[in-house]
Structure 1
């Protein structure tokens, strides 16, 4: 029934997001994961320890971060399976692991901010969804950042969690989200976290691999159905540029989005005052990106998301019939 849980959670989260009454009752799991990760970081990651010891402790921390929440989720799902509405309740809990609705709202806020409030408001809006320095972004840079975030977060905020829910039920989705949160908090190449967070970063790369490829395929297929999108160029751009990205996974959805829209995404950008010389996704595409392109990207994303729901709906029918 994991596939059906994944499908139902997609439908509910697309329509209403993470239900507010559930958020008020139990909070958000990412908050719980964050507290656990921060606690382990304080206790196990000591500046006086050697890099080798910090790497080993990083592995131990990752095991705790993934296995403890996943075990609790498995127990909850097992308990709910014994009651009539258990499947629905499990799917409602799983909506907390998805971000279809919030992703749309945050990216739309960037386009609306640029159109109605100007560059400064657009920078504030985009700072909510990207880690780069917003004050150094011009209007085109803000637009590119929003579209890149949309593509990447479609992969690791929607496709990846629903993939792992489909594979392992609520426990699979929770394990994924906990690991992904660990990567976002400690999986950085900073003096404090390069050794301790290495396991989290490597594991996140591994578990996002299937979803990033599936996301690229969904965007390519969606481009066949969206006006002013080029599916052929999306496919060619994925083949040519996806592996040029510094991330083994982010390049796939970003390249697909860039090719479909005829844009040049990624490229050199600043993080915490440090310039990162990344390759362009969609080299040769248009770089003077505008707010209208953010809205084009959102249309493409919505169609790709519908295709994802259709895929899990079809798989659910197959599971039920079988």
Structure 2
């Protein structure tokens, strides 16, 4: 268990995020992973190959990503231990791990949707939400933009904040590096389209597996946050998670989305368009469809308190382990 490392990573990410100056100079680790995935996609995901061959090459892509990410994390860990000692080693490894947590950036992107809708109108809101969702946004009204932002906040709380932290706690730097490789591969090639049904099969299946514990944890944090905040319903969150979490097309996204939908008294998910095609998904929750900017801001409050609860739990775990 790497509780002290996880706590340092959380604290650094909460305080600084990923500095813009660093991003401009060297890019971001997820971008490096994405470049490797894109190369594998171009080289190995060819239409002239059979379905089975493309599926096996997709497995090879995932294994290559895991080998590269795990090796890189191990090298960083060994170098830190070789050149540094004690707390300095943990601090440097925590700083590296913090680059793979997305709490601040997710908050900023969702807040930008609320600000755009409120200050500049529906067109600006559509542009802002298009930065964080994959669905078609050109025809969304204010309610559609608001629901999309809240759904993205809920889902990305699980796979962008809770899941990488979970694997950092369990397996240290190799754990969080490997998780981000899997999750990035799923986001890039794990689609059920003609091009990626075979090549992205392994990435999609493994991503479902590694996100399973975090999706349940994220729902728990969101329920506890609803209990701590006026105007939100923890009972509603629990009821919708119990009834609707498993109805989502994703085995994991339904959990945090249900916790937010029930707490806010909304209906999330449901029918939506991707690349011009309608996806007739189940609704999550039985509340209002007419979400608004106010709901986005309430969801952000719930998210921030949930993050704080997670932070306190990790701090308590680190303190307990230090006493052992």
Give the TM interval when normalised to the shorter protein. over 0.9
Give how far 1:259 is off.
0.3
Alpha carbons of structure 1 residues 23 and 170: separation in structure 2 relative to 1, 3 Å: farther
Choose from 295, 298, 301 the match for 1:296: 298
TM-score (norm. length: structure 1): 0.97
TM-score (norm. length: structure 2): 0.97
Aligned to 2:261: 258
Aligned to 1:129: 132
Give how far 1:8 is off.
1.0
Unaligned runs of 5+ in 1: none
> Is 2:12 the partner of 1:16?
no
Aligned to 2:79: 79
- Distance across 2 between alignment mates of 1:22 and 1:88: 18
Choose from 279, 296, 307 the match for 1:305: 307
- Distance across 1 between alignment mates of 2:222 and 2:169: 20
Instruction: Supply the RMSD in Å over aligned alpha carbons.
Output: 1.1
- Distance across 1 between alignment mates of 2:116 and 2:195: 36
Aligned to 2:320: 318
Give the 3-state SS of the residue equivalent to 1:318 in structure 2: helix
Q: 1:1-322, aligned counterparts within 5 Å?
A: 2-20=2-20, 22-23=22-23, 26-82=26-82, 83-84=84-85, 85-282=88-285, 284-322=286-324
Give how far 1:320 is off.
1.2
Give the 3-state SS of the residue equivalent to 2:99 in structure 1: helix
- Distance across 1 between alignment mates of 2:123 and 2:132: 15
- Distance across 2 between alignment mates of 1:195 and 1:133: 24
- Distance across 2 between alignment mates of 1:19 and 1:6: 19
- Distance across 2 between alignment mates of 1:293 and 1:116: 16
Give the 3-state SS of the residue equivalent to 2:273 in structure 1: strand
Give the 3-state SS of the residue equivalent to 1:275 in structure 2: strand
Give how far 1:26 is off.
4.1
- Distance across 1 between alignment mates of 2:279 and 2:246: 16
- Distance across 2 between alignment mates of 1:95 and 1:193: 31
- Distance across 1 between alignment mates of 2:312 and 2:19: 22
- Distance across 1 between alignment mates of 2:24 and 2:115: 29
- The Cα offsets for residues 145-195 of structure 1, whole Å up to 9 and x where unpaired, read as 000000000000000001111111111101000110000111011111100
Give how far 1:224 is off.
0.7
Unaligned runs of 5+ in 2: none
Give how far 1:42 is off.
1.3
- Distance across 1 between alignment mates of 2:3 and 2:185: 25
Give how far 1:22 is off.
4.4
- Distance across 1 between alignment mates of 2:290 and 2:27: 41
Give how far 1:228 is off.
0.5
Where does structure 1 differ by over 2 angstroms across 4 or more consecutive aligned residues? 19-27
